[in-house]
Amino acid sequence: MQRQAGALAAQGMTPLDTLLEHETPEGILLELRLAGPVVRACAWAIDAVIRGVLYIGLGILLSYLGQMGTAVMLILFFVIEWFYPVFFEVRSGMTPGKQVMGVWVIHDNGTPVSLPSSLVRNLLRTADFFPLFYGAGLLTMLMNRQFKRLGDLAAGTLVVYRDPHGQRRAMPEAQPEPPPQGLSYAGQEALLDFAERDAQLSAERKAELATLLHPVTGCGGAAAVAKLHGYANWLARGR
């Protein structure tokens, strides 16, 4: 795979990848895993089923109200069809279908989608639908590396996989030790990140980073690394 990527680079080409990197103004590198047409089509199908159930339920309930019920039903159908995705995307970034498939909508810069952007991307579904069954949207998605349909291009949004919350990488075993009192939340997160990246760092680099925290640990080198691992284990176990 590396030889293939090197060959493509030598030819002035870039290998296809679904990983998009975005650097924030603060210098934080975000890695966004783009959702392709298949998973997005599955999410759309799930949402279509949910909307269909709502239509049938409303149709049955409002059929007893005669012409007034028909008028109310048509209004509700319009609201559900066009604002069902907007409601969920602004609220949590994902419709029920997207939640099932593990994807959500964000801005190009990685921030949560806003109401204006969600409105634009969903109102342009009409253009994406032409000429039949989202043909224009599918063609547009296949023609750009970020899998954007017309609505995404206009709104400046992406559909990416959402990494599960609360799942941390394994950290080295160490005797849990309570960290110094008054350690900030950011400091606690830094300790956990340091321990979780233990396998990715050389012994020299770990000792170098741990020594920088001498005011916290009171020691340096390998002893500081062991102490930081103890702090991280204590925090990870919620003690």
Of the three residues 129, 161, 193, the one that is the final residue of a domain is 161
DSSP designation for 52: H
Of the three residues 161, 177, 204, the one that is the final residue of a domain is 161
Mean pLDDT of all residues belonging to the chain: 82
> For 208-233, how does the pLDDT look when each residue is reduced to its tens digit (9 = 90+)?
888 888 887 888 888 888 888 888 88
Tokens linked to 41: 């089509």
Q: Does the pLDDT of residue 114 top 80, yes or no?
A: yes
Q: Are 162 and 102 in contact (CB under 8 A)?
A: yes
- Same domain? For 156 and 201 the reply is no
pLDDT at 2: 36
- Same domain? For 57 and 132 the reply is yes
- Same domain? For 46 and 131 the reply is yes
- Same domain? For 57 and 129 the reply is yes
Q: Does the pLDDT of residue 13 top 50, yes or no?
A: no
Q: Are 103 and 94 in contact (CB under 8 A)?
A: yes
Domain assignment of residue 24, yes or no = no
pLDDT at 136: 87
Alpha-carbon Rg for the chain, nearest whole angstrom, is: 25
Q: Does the pLDDT of residue 41 top 80, yes or no?
A: yes
Domain assignment of residue 3, yes or no = no
DSSP designation for 55: H
- Same domain? For 131 and 220 the reply is no
Mean pLDDT of 170-175: 78
- Cα separation of 205 and 211, whole Å? 10
- Same domain? For 211 and 157 the reply is no
pLDDT at 169: 63
Mean pLDDT of 114-123: 94
- Same domain? For 125 and 93 the reply is yes
- Same domain? For 45 and 84 the reply is yes
Of the three residues 118, 146, 161, the one that is the final residue of a domain is 161
> In Å, what is the CA distance from 49 to each residue of 54, 55, 56?
9, 10, 11
Higher pLDDT: 237 or 72? It is 72
- Cα separation of 94 and 115, whole Å? 13
Its pTM stands at: 0.62
196 pLDDT tier (thresholds 50, 70, 90): confident
- Same domain? For 93 and 143 the reply is yes
> For 58-107, how does the pLDDT look when each residue is reduced to its tens digit (9 = 90+)?
999 998 888 888 999 999 999 999 999 999 999 989 999 999 999 999 99
Mean pLDDT of 12-28: 56
- Host domain of residue 216: 185-236
- Cα separation of 179 and 231, whole Å? 5
5 pLDDT tier (thresholds 50, 70, 90): very low
- Same domain? For 56 and 155 the reply is yes
Domain assignment of residue 77, yes or no = yes
26 pLDDT tier (thresholds 50, 70, 90): very low
Q: Does the pLDDT of residue 28 top 70, yes or no?
A: no
pLDDT at 130: 85
Domain assignment of residue 15, yes or no = no
Domain assignment of residue 156, yes or no = yes
Tokens linked to 128: 């994406």
Domain assignment of residue 73, yes or no = yes
> For 48-59, how does the pLDDT look when each residue is reduced to its tens digit (9 = 90+)?
999 999 999 999
Domain assignment of residue 25, yes or no = no
**Percent of residues, the chain, with pLDDT higher than 70:** 84
- Cα separation of 25 and 27, whole Å? 5
Per the structure, the count of domains in the chain is: 2
Domain assignment of residue 7, yes or no = no
Mean pLDDT of 152-159: 94
Q: Does the pLDDT of residue 137 top 80, yes or no?
A: yes
Q: Are 97 and 84 in contact (CB under 8 A)?
A: no
